Each structure stands twice: as structure tokens, then as C-alpha cells.
Structure 1
Amino acid sequence: MTSKTIDFVFIGGLREDYCITHEGQVHLGIVGGNAAYSAVGAAVWSASAGIISRVGSTFSRTWLAKLEDAGFDIQGVKILSEPHSNITFYAYLSAEERVDTNPASHFLRIGEKLPKQLLNYRSSTEGQDLRSGYAPLAVRPEDLSNRLKFSRGAHLAPADFLTHVTLPHRLRELGVSLITLDPSERYMQPSFSKDLPGIMRDLDAFLPSETDARALFKPEELDGWEMAEALGAMGCRYVVIKRGARGQLVWDQLAKRRFMVPAYPARVRDVTGAGDAFCGGFLVGLDETGDVVEAALRGNISSSLTIEGTGALYALDAWPGITQARLASLRLSVKKM
């Protein structure tokens, strides 16, 4: 395989997903992971995307081949010599509420047999709140090659705290000019509030979910804009709080501007990867336009395409022209606050 320039890189997990949707549909052993979903969110805008991740020795080579066949650069995927589980379980109690623990109870709830692959499953974010030591599947600075100096942007999907502390600075050293990050729910806790500025100072945009933002500020009960401004004050220019079906709150710390972007009214089938796809589209939009609202609009459309089907690669089959049509439609609904 020859090296080539990657416009945008997506750093995070490649996973084997086991999912119960909010409608009770079951999907077993399909390719997923936040790095894949965010890369697809970029690719629907015809952007060239690469994935940087770590997988165990037993991770399906067929899935890696599918990602490559779909146009993604996978040279940054490190296959370890030892087996490590890349399994993720999600059960959606509603389109807005997801749990990732105790799969046996959820399969019992819908009257289905627990897959043997989930017998010893704990959670999808185990260890992401550790302040020292990388987990085996955690991407670390030495996993970033010099090829990235030609990349226009990088996104860090939810991952280990130490990954998020160390990689943004390394990306800056390599010359990556645009960096966005979606934090892990594990460290979005009050005990980490003094650590966050160390992550934020090397970012252009911080993209948490509303749930994660609220968890960080407990026991205070701040409204969305108060949370966005407090996060922006930690050192990052743009903060976008993702609110699922209620769209996004967009805060520009430098210009002190607020915008509310509604969610595109998509036909919801499976919300897995919606936030990750948003981040992929957002990165492309911010690079191409330099406008945070236009970036949020593109992220929104990427998310809308993802939730209409199942699996990380579903959105790639969208009709030609649908992204631009949805973008033009949604742009009319943006509100400056």
C-alpha cells in the first residue's frame, strides 16, 4: 500500500457492535466504532478520510477490508499481536437514552437469548477515566505518523483520558491546523474539571453531548448556554453541545456569539453513531468554510443520514445530492440567539 495524503483523520475506536435499538430491533456483530462513524460523517461530503485506531489480533480483517474498499485510509489502524476485545454493546431505552452495561437484562427484556460474545461484557468505556497508563487499545502519540503533517484536520472521538490529554499537542507538533474533540463520558465528571483546560488549549472545537456537559457541572444546574460559555472559557474557541433530536447549541467564545441549529427531521431507525457522524461532518465544514454554523449544519446532515439506517457504513449509500439539498433546507432554520 502506498502512502498518500489524508485530508482528515479520525482517531478513536473500531468496534464490533451488538445493539438493541429503541424499537427493539437487534443487530449483532456489525462493524462500528466512533472512529468509523465519524469518518463516514466526513466522507458523505466527498472528503478523503483516514482512521487511526488500535484493534486486537482477532479483529475481523473482512471489516478492515470493507472500510478500505469504502475509500477510507486504514494505514493508521494498528493490529496488535494479542487478542483484545473490540466488542461494544448498546441498548436504547428511547431514541435519546442509551445504556452500555448489563446486556443480559436487556436481552431478557425483549425475550431474546444473550449472545455468547457478551457473556463477560462489562462496558464500552471501561478505563477511560484513568489518569495514568494507556489501555491496550488506547491510541497514543507514537501511533501518529509523520504523514499527518499534510492533513487539514483531525478529530478525536471519545477515548481514554490520557489519549485526549496527549494527542492534541502531538497533532499540533505534526502541523495539523484544525483539531476537534468529543470527550468521553467517563471523565466528564466534576473531579476532572481542573484537568479539562489541559485538553482544551490545543483544540479548535469541543463537541460534547448535553448529557456529558451536565455531568461535568454537577451539582450545579446550568442551562445550555451557561455550560457552553464555561467550557469555552477553558481555552477552546468553539463549543458545540449536541442535544440529539433538539439539535445543537453553538457557542463562539472569541466572537461571543450564540446559535441554535435544529436537528434535521430524519426518519429515525438507529441512533448509534449519530454524534460521531456529526463530528465528522463538522470537521469538514469548519475546514471548508471557516464558519462554525456552517460546520454544525454539515455535521447535522451527516448525523441525519446515519440514523436512517444501521451500521457505520450505511450513510455512504445516500442518494447523490441529498446532502446539499438537506443543507440548504436546514440552513433556513438556524437561529441566532
Structure 2
Amino acid sequence: MTTENLPLVVMGHLTIDEIRMSSGLVHESTIGGAAAYSALGGFLAGGDVVVISRVGSSYPLDRFRLVHPDGGTVDISETLILPGESTKNIAWYGEDGTRRWDILNPDTMHIQTPTPEDADRVERGQWVLVCPASLEQQEALVDRLRARGARIALDTEIHYLTDPDAMERLSALTSRVDCFLPSREHITHLTGYAGDDAGRIAELLDRFGSPRVVLKCGASGVLASDRERPGELLSVPGVERIDVIDPTGAGDSFDGGFLAGLSRGESVADAIAGGCVAASFVIQAIGLTVPAEFSSAETTRRRETVRGRVAVHQTFTKAREKVNNR
């Protein structure tokens, strides 16, 4: 089997969430977690996804049986069922779009994070998404996955980046992965920069040392820096004019859709477009759901619209020059 035929592996949390919208609407007992939404994004992008996670005995894994003639596949057979409760969260959304997560049982979440031993089921050359977890847990996973010869993509979350040395530790970690997938919120939190200058953004992305950094900018789309294309910052827009039902999981589902594309050999621009389209479908439903709007025809229409608006910003940074000359 070639590496282009290997399924995407997603390693991360599966949770049961209560989503509290700014309108007062509450979505209870929603299937959530970064691994769940990433798997859904990969499915909607037509990819084959394997979820490696750990859950409590009452977790409704049967709800991962996603079926649609235009979708991919999701395999949960590698998820370990542990005795006891599952990880539970409450998500609070503000009127300005900000959100806050309250983890109701953090000790359970820690126990139910995939371990380095779980990484031993990954094949050489296989794309693996390491979902948000503590830096210690991500460092251990990345070390084992590198030893396995996997291709590693890394995402993170702000509540894991509160220590004064977080930027230094994260940069050391991201320099050891093949792709870093931060959000604009993460970059602003870590660097203090919230502007739109392409050169400045490229310089900040280069600080992380990863050969490829894909910056998620919400509804505005994605900016991408790639070592193979020095001096360029790729700009891919989001999908416009869609009815948003629940924005939860947009970034995670982008990760899954994007990496599903890379796993089957798509170009970076095409894979990013696929990730943007997958995320646009996910936010049109609640939780682990295939929205009514999803179809191959609508997927094609959205992808073509996004690809037709891709732009390239010419920029070059001293940090990128240093990376390229290693």
C-alpha cells in the first residue's frame, strides 16, 4: 500500500459537550471533542479516517457510524473503551463569537488522551493529526510518531498555552512536525500581533520552525506558509454565504478535511480548499452530523468557488531564509 492510500489517523479526545449559545439556546449531550470533529471533516472531504482515542464505557461510539454516498469512512475500532465516565465539557459562546470551555472532569480528560503506546499502531509515512492536549502529552506523542516514521500534523488550544515558557516549548515541538495548524487566535495569544500585514504574519509563522504552517482565520479562510515555496504566503478564502447553525468544531473539521486531501496526494492549495469546504458543512449542523446540504455536487461547487479566489502574497523573511538553508 502506498502512503497516498493510507487512511488519515486522528489522535485526540472524544467528549460529551453541552453547547451554550449566546442566544440562550443550549445543545445538550452533543458528541464532541477535537478528534470527533476532525474525523467528521475528513469524512466530508471524502477521506478514510481512523480515530485513535480513549473513552468511558458509556460513550456512544455507535454515533460514529456516518453513512453518506458522497462521504468517506470513519473507523473507530482503534478507540479504547475504559471503565468509568467519559470526558465532559461545557462550551460558552459570546455574542462577539468568542468562546470559553469548561472541562468538567479534567483528570478524566488527561487519562483519556492517547498515549505513545497508542501511536505504535501507526504506519510509516501515514499522516497523523495530533489534536490539542497538554504540551507534555503532545511532546510524548510526537516523539513516538517520529520514531514510527509518520507524517505529523499538530494542532493546539489556548488553555494549554498559559505557562510563560509556552511559546518556547511549542516552537521546539512544532519544529519537529511536518505541519502546524494554529488558529489566528493562537498566534495573537502567543505573539501579541493581531494585524493583517502579510510579511509580518509570514515572519511570525516562520518562528515555529515547521516546514508547513496553516493558519486558520475563521470565516476569512486560511493563510499558509510552506518551506517548499519560500517567499510566498498562500491565502485561501472561506466559503461565503452559508447559514451557520453551530460554529463548534470548525477548526478541527478543517484539519481533518485538509489532511484527508494531503493523505490522497492533493496539492496544498487543493487540500486547504477541501478543508474549508468540509468546515463549511460542519457548521451547518450540530455535533457529529452530516448536514442536509452535503452532497458531491455542492462540495464541487463550493471547492471551485474557493479555488477560484486563491491568492499568493509575495513575502520573504529572515527566519524562512534560515530554515531553507539548514
TM tier, shorter chain?
0.7 to 0.9
Which stretch of the first structure deviates more once superposed, 225-234 or 208-217? 225-234
What code does the residue aligned with 2:208 have?
M
Shift in Å, 1:248: 1.5
Aligned length: 300
What code does the residue aligned with 2:153 have?
T
Q: Deviations over 1:125-145 (max 9, x none)?
A: 9589xxxxx921221101223
2:61 is the counterpart of 1:64: yes
Equivalents in 2 of 1:297, 1:240: separation in Å? 12
What code does the residue aligned with 1:248 have?
V
Shift in Å, 1:158: 1.3
Shift in Å, 1:331: 0.7
Correspondence for 2:322: none
2:128 to 136, 143, 154: 154
Shift in Å, 1:294: 1.9
Equivalents in 1 of 2:148, 2:235: separation in Å? 34
Equivalents in 2 of 1:317, 1:76: separation in Å? 30
2:323 is the counterpart of 1:326: no
Equivalents in 2 of 1:151, 1:7: separation in Å? 11
Distance 1:8 1:248, change over 3 A: same
* Structure 2 alignment gaps of length 5 or more: 68-72, 314-326
Q: Is contact 1:248–1:261 with CA below 8 Å preserved after alignment?
A: yes
What code does the residue aligned with 2:114 have?
V
2:102 is the counterpart of 1:94: no
What code does the residue aligned with 2:10 have?
F
Shift in Å, 1:94: 3.3
Equivalents in 2 of 1:277, 1:298: separation in Å? 10
Q: Is contact 2:277–2:303 with CA below 8 Å preserved after alignment?
A: yes
What code does the residue aligned with 2:25 have?
Q
Matches within 5 A, 1:32-71: 32-57=32-57, 59-60=58-59, 63-68=60-65, 70=67, 71=73
Which stretch of the first structure deviates more once superposed, 91-100 or 296-305? 91-100
Equivalents in 2 of 1:155, 1:224: separation in Å? 29
Q: Deviations over 1:15-57 (max 9, x none)?
A: 1111123443221002111101101111112211111111123
1:273 to 249, 260, 263: 249
Shift in Å, 1:207: 0.9
1:181 to 151, 154, 159: 154
What code does the residue aligned with 1:154 have?
V
Q: Is contact 2:19–2:28 with CA below 8 Å preserved after alignment?
A: yes
Q: Is contact 1:51–1:73 with CA below 8 Å preserved after alignment?
A: yes
Q: Deviations over 1:155-191 (max 9, x none)?
A: 1121121221121232232232x32111121233552
Distance 1:186 1:257, change over 3 A: same
SS of 2:97's equivalent in the other structure is: coil
Matches within 5 A, 1:1-337: 7-57=7-57, 59-60=58-59, 63-68=60-65, 70=67, 71-81=73-83, 83-94=84-95, 96-101=97-102, 123=103, 126=106, 135-146=110-121, 148-149=122-123, 152-176=126-150, 178-189=151-162, 190-218=164-192, 223=196, 225=198, 226-254=200-228, 255-265=230-240, 266-315=242-291, 318-337=294-313
Correspondence for 1:109: none
Equivalents in 2 of 1:51, 1:317: separation in Å? 25
Q: Deviations over 1:171-226 (max 9, x none)?
A: 232232x32111121233552122123311332211111111111114x6665643
What code does the residue aligned with 1:100 have?
W
Q: Is contact 2:205–2:225 with CA below 8 Å preserved after alignment?
A: no
Shift in Å, 1:295: 2.0
What code does the residue aligned with 2:166 have?
F
Q: Is contact 2:32–2:287 with CA below 8 Å preserved after alignment?
A: yes
Shift in Å, 1:236: 0.6
Q: Deviations over 1:242-296 (max 9, x none)?
A: 1111212222244231122221012111001100000001112223345322222
Q: Identical aligned pairs, as a percentage?
A: 30
Q: Is contact 1:44–1:315 with CA below 8 Å preserved after alignment?
A: no
What RMSD, in angstroms, separates the aligned Cα atoms of the two structures? 2.6
Shift in Å, 1:299: 0.9
Q: Is contact 2:12–2:131 with CA below 8 Å preserved after alignment?
A: yes
Q: Is contact 2:135–2:170 with CA below 8 Å preserved after alignment?
A: no
Distance 1:294 1:95, change over 3 A: farther
SS of 2:296's equivalent in the other structure is: coil
Equivalents in 1 of 2:310, 2:22: separation in Å? 28
What code does the residue aligned with 1:64 have?
L
Q: Is contact 2:15–2:89 with CA below 8 Å preserved after alignment?
A: yes
